[in-house]
Chains A and B, each alone.
Chain A
Amino acid sequence: GNSVTQMEGPVTLSEEAFLTINCTYTATGYPSLFWYVQYPGEGLQLLLKATKADDKGSNKGFEATYRKETTSFHLEKGSVQVSDSAVYFCALTSGGSNYKLTFGKGTLLTVNP
């Protein structure tokens, strides 16, 4: 079956630091990959996505590249802000009849001023 493994948190950074959150996956077929973000007390918001190998998803300064050879989709940002403090989830879907999302366990990021 499908599975997603992302780096354990929590991650604490200073403002303007470089961020990497690792995500690797196991899936059948050709999955689509996502990063969702959950701000405190809120639901999940789609941050970025990639639907095929070598695609780069980007949004709000965050980037992630779909690497089929290493089955990875690492999230990066060059300069984090306090407002980026949130829980980040890596997820995938292989499609099928329900397009069920399989999530990683989430990584809590705290950015200090």
Chain B
Amino acid sequence: NAGVTQTPKFQVLKTGQSMTLQCAQDMNHNSMYWYRQDPGMGLRLIYYSASEGTTDKGEVPNGYNVSRLNKREFSLRLESAAPSQTSVYFCASRIAGGRKEQFFGPGTRLTVL
């Protein structure tokens, strides 16, 4: 049981390049989330997926797209990376029902030059 896994762990991009961050969970959780973490800002929600086949915007969705490929996988895509997207990205998942805590992956550290 690996929990929530993310790839890659580190990535450096040039402005304008595109990439996809991958996230998978093996806990049979229904909901999945993408957050970004910036110094002094805590974590902010980018997108979430309440269940397979649905996605919705969070606080800071501009410049990102997501795909809930199946129940296990939830990817985050940067179509044209900008330096403002330099951040650490965390994926999280949550089981359905009354359990409200989320379980986090190890993160992807992204630098956009």
- Measured CB to CB, the residues of A under 8 A from B are 4, 32, 34, 36, 42-46, 49, 51, 89, 93, 95, 97-101, 103-106
Contacts and interface: CB of A to CB of B under 8 A. Distances in A.
Contact of A98 (B42, B48, B103): B48
B66 to A, nearest CB: 13
Interface string B85-113: 00000101010000011111111000000
Main secondary structure of the interface of B (DSSP, over half): strand
Contact of B101 (A42, A46, A98): A46
B34 to A, nearest CB: 12
A45 B3 CA distance: 12
- Bin chain B's interface residue count: 20 to 34
B43 A101 contact: yes
Given A43-B105, A45-B104, A100 B40 contact: no
Interface in B27-54: 31, 33, 40-45, 48, 50
5 contacts: A44-B104, A89-B42, A93-B100, A98-B50, A100-B58
A43 B104 contact: yes
Contacts of A95: 100
A102 B43 CA distance: 8
Nearest to B41: A105
B79 interface: no
A19 B56 CA distance: 38
